[in-house]
Amino acid sequence: MSAQQAQEKVDNGVNVQALLGAREALTEAPAAARFTWRATCNWINGTHSETSVRGFYGLGEEQSHRTEFHFDTDHPEIFASEDHGATPVEVVLAGLAGCLTAGIAAVAQNRNIQLRSVKATLEGGMDLQGILGIDSDVRNGFDGIKVHYEIDADASKEDIAALVAQSQKRSAVYDIITNPTDVTVTVA
Amino acid sequence: MSAQQAQEKVDNGVNVQALLGAREALTEAPAAARFTWRATCNWINGTHSETSVRGFYGLGEEQSHRTEFHFDTDHPEIFASEDHGATPVEVVLAGLAGCLTAGIAAVAQNRNIQLRSVKATLEGGMDLQGILGIDSDVRNGFDGIKVHYEIDADASKEDIAALVAQSQKRSAVYDIITNPTDVTVTVA
């Protein structure tokens, strides 16, 4: 079986040709690579709020998701809240998981590796003495995040590890979390 | 009207007494302040995956949300994907919005300020030359995030600005994004 035949048989649902085409097009026209992602959040009650995502800017013009996506965030009942949604820090874990996992699928497709299943378990430790203002030496956020992958794929253990490493190297959310990202907050 | 009467009239849905009680209890027993937040992600197809959140650890024992929360993440159609969910970076914006907004409600309650409405609009700029590997000098993540609040509350403009500033100071997600957070990725 030729490499070409093997490549045709691998299908992780990622259109790598389109991505390679996009890379080529954006190399020629880098201004189109400028994206702006947006979200709108409305406070509901207590610690419960709802965030919506639909429009974004990229490829030189306004774009839109097919539908609007909604995210409820809240605090759990042990914090005297009503638990109408995941906590905001769990939502960040979901963003990290989704980013690394999409990367694994895309890199696998590009490397001609058929994925059968990919599962990630994530955990982030946090000492609440930070956000409660008990100890100013304790940070508010996670003291670290652990992501563990179980991957079933037509590839060696080494090739699977290399997939995951390449996904980290190109992950937007991994970069946002591991490196400082400026956040400017203003009030009308 | 006494300060006590004014305080009784302010209701943002946040049980500040319980939070102050928790702070006191955790000051006495700091080990209970160690939390672990978790998420589990399953790859569906292409860049689409689904993350679930339910159990977490804190107050010295296993805890659980009332229900399991689910997050679909995907890439939009302009990236040759099927747009089954928000992009992972938009999910991060949702986490940041939810964290800062919950903080505003809690701080307002503690400061005796009645909120009527709180709306945040967020945007994060990104140059896709990073994640596409076109220019290694361009980062993968956001080059910055802007959060803009419109708040209607029984308070002066200055007091509202101070609310937002205090929320930033105690926000877990703001800390996770603005400061480096270690992420360790392993594969079975």
Q: Phi-psi region for residue A49, left (φ > 0), alpha (ψ -120 to 50) or beta?
A: beta
Please tell me the predicted confidence (pLDDT) of residue B8: 59
Is B122 strand, coil or helix? strand
Tokens of B15: 């049980």
pLDDT in tens, B27-77: 999 999 999 999 999 999 999 999 999 999 999 999 999 999 999 999 999
If you measure CA to CA, which chain A residue comes closest to B77?
A: A65
- Assign A2 a pLDDT band (cuts: 50, 70, 90): very low
**Distance, CA of A170 to CA of A177 (rounded, Å):** 13
Q: Give me the sheet containing B183-187, strands edge to edge.
A: B61-73, B48-58, B34-45, A115-127, A144-153, B183-187
Q: Where are the alpha helices (DSSP H) in chain B?
A: 3-9, 16-28, 88-110, 157-169, 172-178
Q: How far apart are CA B165 and CA A50, in angstroms?
A: 21
Q: Whose structure tokens read 């759990």?
A: A76
- Answer whether B147 sits within 8 Å of A185, measured CB to CB: yes
Give A99 to chain B, closest Cα distance, Å: 5
Question: What is residue B96's three-state secondary structure?
Answer: helix
User: Does B183 contact A96 at a Cβ distance shorter than 8 Å?
Assistant: yes
Q: From the CA of A1, how many Å to the nearest CA of chain B?
A: 25
List pLDDT tens digits, range A111-169: 999 999 999 999 999 999 999 999 999 999 999 999 999 999 999 999 999 999 999 99
Q: Pick from A18, A39, A170: which is nearest to B97 by CB?
A: A39
Helix, coil or strand: residue A27: helix
Which one of B15, B89, B147 has the shortest CB-CB distance to A172?
B89
